[in-house]
């Protein structure tokens, strides 16, 4: 059985430590823990690390397009490998959850997240799993689009490694035991921001 696990983010060093790239960070953690390297996919702008565990294969993918254009390469790989949306997990940042919070869901609204909107379009359905990683809301009147493209603050950095590891564990739990098991074991409430 093959699962496609896609971490959303933006390519390039300028974005590597930003809030918007927490999905990529989880993808890196999954590949790293299995000692697998990412390899460029021919004719599709994304990298994939292939992790085998018994009869389960995880294709951990990082689109090489910008976040808001993530859908076409994810959709292309899913069709090429004949992976049904019920076996697709997308990992992404979520400003509507406090920093460090984590939620898992199947389908539903994208809440205006442009990366998710692109994936829904690329897969032609909203019915895929989402691992939502809380990065908190911007302070004051800051534009959310600018906020997610900033690096985590020094104060926030302590939360990031545990959030990333929790995201990786959640993916493993979801694949092994299903949605309810992942929700019961890995939902996190995070920290309240102090504005």
Residues labelled catalytic: 20
Interatomic CA distance for residues 96 and 75, integer angstroms: 26
Burial of 183 (0-12, 13-18, 19+ CB in 10 A): middle
Interatomic CA distance for residues 107 and 119, integer angstroms: 11
Interatomic CA distance for residues 61 and 64, integer angstroms: 9
Helical spans, DSSP H, in the chain: 22-33, 71-80, 114-123, 144-148, 160-177, 179-186
In terms of Cα–Cα distance, which of 152, 192, 160, 187 is closest to 173?
187
């Amino acid at each position: 059985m093959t699962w496609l696990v896609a971490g959303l983010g933006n390519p390039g060093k300028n974005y590597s430590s930003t809030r918007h790239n927490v999905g990529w960070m989880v993808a890196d953690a999954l590949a790293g823990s299995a000692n697998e390297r990412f390899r460029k996919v021919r004719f599709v702008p994304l990298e994939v690390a292939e992790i085998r565990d018994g009869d389960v294969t995880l294709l951990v993918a990082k689109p090489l397009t910008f976040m808001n254009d993530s859908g076409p390469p994810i959709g292309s790989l899913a069709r090429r490998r004949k992976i049904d949306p019920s076996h697709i997990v997308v990992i992404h940042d979520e400003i509507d959850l406090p920093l460090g919070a984590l939620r898992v869901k199947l389908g539903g609204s994208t809440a205006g997240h442009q990366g998710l909107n692109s994936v829904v379009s690329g897969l032609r359905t909203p019915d895929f799993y989402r691992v939502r990683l809380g990065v908190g809301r911007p302070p004051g009147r800051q534009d959310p689009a600018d906020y997610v493209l900033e690096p985590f603050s020094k104060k926030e950095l302590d939360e990031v490694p545990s959030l990333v590891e929790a995201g990786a564990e959640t993916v493993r739990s979801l694949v092994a035991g299903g949605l309810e098991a992942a929700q019961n074991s890995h939902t996190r409430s995070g920290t309240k921001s102090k504005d």
